[in-house]
A and B are shown apart, each in its own frame.
Chain A
Amino acid sequence: MLTEIQLWAIFNGTIVTLEIAIVAIVFGAIFGVVVALGRLSKSKVANALSWFYIWFFRGTPLLLQLFIIYYAIPIIYLDATGITFEINPMICAFVAFSLNATAYLAEIIRAAIESIDGGQMEASKALGMSYRQAMTKIIIPQTYKRLVAPLGNELIMLLKDTSLVSTIALFDLLRTTKTMASATGSWIYYIYAAAIYLFLTTIIQVVFDKMEKKLGIYER
């Protein structure tokens, strides 16, 4: 059985995993709306910037993005200024995961907005609403229900991908249990890890299913 120290270590690892996933989904959703609106914008600059953002962060491995932020940026900074600085790995993980989630969520949000019937924007305009008013009051609220399922999907992916942070000196759930397995030579710790991941993803699945039902209340 687990000692109290091991129990606490696993608990802390789980917290690290959860924190990164939750921070990433929240910031990813907020900035994802901005990038999605950029992609839909008539402004060529906004369009190109958003396109480039998505192209880069979807087109390179998350692990590489993590390395750039954690390893490359301090070296670039050192070369440029001659000053070394200590970079907090947790902050790096928050930033890398949020930037990456933003790219994926932007595409999900863009697709959801485009799936709303064009007549909705026309009716809004005919009633005198500005583009902004039509978007915030009419179009985007109709995407919520359509966003729940892909958002839950993304959160589950993020939760599992957090295991990548073991490469930047963080002890997430997987690394904590792997260390214990190596130290004791017992495979049972992997079972504990699997059980906790499954427990968390089950909660996400149930909560998001409920949310989807609730948000779809206006549909017959």
Chain B
Amino acid sequence: MSMVKLVNVRKSFGDLEVLKGVNLEVQQGEVVCIIGASGSGKSTMLRCLNQLERISDGEIYIEDVLTDKRANDKDLMKIDPVTVQSLCTELGMVFQNFNLFPHLTVIDNVTIAPLIVKKTDKKIAETRALDLLSMVGLSEKKDEYPSRLSGGQQQRVAIARALAMDPKIMMFDEPTSALDPELVGEVLATMRQLAEKGMTMLIVTHEIGFAREVADRVIFMDGGVICEEGTPEEVLLNPKEERTKSFLNKIL
């Protein structure tokens, strides 16, 4: 089953065209790692999927349902906002800077969206939150405020917070880029655990080793288009495109 699909997606910020016609389809259970230099449009692509950014042209499908169809920054069809919102919550997102809610304790960070968006019963939401926190190894920190946690711990809470909405797809936007090197491992371990459970994942990352090990498919983006894609072996070990080769040479 196709979980997300982008058809000819373009995105411009003023005169700057960041996505120049991206086509991508992700199947259920697939782990897709997206690599590429900064400014290549990787993050923008993720942000367009859950409509943190609106696309300029193209179509976006979530679970085969059209959620956005635009041309020249104008809507081409009226799409029911309630449907869009509920489909967008099927996409969990983890940010580079965690973006935990600093005024809420760890457990409240995890329960707030189920409580106010899904109107989940408080007891049920808390039980679920504790399960998720123990999955990411942080149940003993449940009453701490985020400022008391290390970066790695904060990012793991952010993963639990996204999972609390029971998303069908998890998107990670450079989840380890803001972390001290010694904290990267714990976050990657949590992500690996999710991948093993069969979660569909879209991961923008610079961790080539992780991508090689976990990804079903690797996508190399350059200049707003998908330049090369394939299995990790194909793209990371035997890249065909010159641009892929030179990028990999620079970062390895």
Contacts and interface: CB of A to CB of B under 8 A. Distances in A.
A89 B86 CA distance: 54
B112 A137 contact: yes
B113 A119 contact: no
B39 interface: no
Given A127-B89, A128-B85, A128-B113, A119 B99 contact: yes
Interface string B55-97: 0000000000000000000000000000001101101110101
Dominant SS among interface residues on chain A:
helix
B102 A125 contact: no
A119 B43 CA distance: 14
Given A142-B103, A219-B147, A129 B97 contact: no
A117 B103 CA distance: 13
A218 B95 CA distance: 21
Contacts of A137: 112, 116
Contacts of A127: 89, 112-113, 117, 161-162, 165
Given A122-B95, A218-B147, A129 B117 contact: yes
A115 interface: no
Contacts of B99: 117, 119-120, 122-123
B226 to A, nearest CB: 23
Q: Which of A122, A127, A137 neighbours the largest number of chain B CB atoms within 10 Å of its CB?
A: A127
B148 interface: yes
A218 B146 CA distance: 8
A72 B248 CA distance: 76
B117 A220 contact: no
Given A127-B165, A129-B113, A119 B97 contact: yes
A126 interface: yes
Contacts of A141: 103
B244 interface: no
Interface of B: 50-52, 85-86, 88-89, 91-93, 95, 97, 99-104, 112-113, 116-118, 145-148, 161-162, 165
A218 B149 CA distance: 12
Contacts of B116: 129, 133, 137
Q: Which of B52, B100, B116, B162 neighbours the largest number of chain A CB atoms within 10 Å of its CB?
A: B116
B166 to A, nearest CB: 11
Interface string A109-139: 0000000010110110111111001000110
11 contacts: A119-B95, A119-B99, A125-B51, A126-B91, A126-B93, A127-B89, A127-B162, A128-B88, A129-B113, A133-B116, A218-B103
A107 B88 CA distance: 34
B102 A142 contact: yes
Nearest to B50: A126
Q: Which of B99, B118, B161 neighbours the largest number of chain A CB atoms within 10 Å of its CB?
A: B99
Nearest to A142: B103
B101 A128 contact: no
Contacts of A217: 145
Nearest to A117: B99
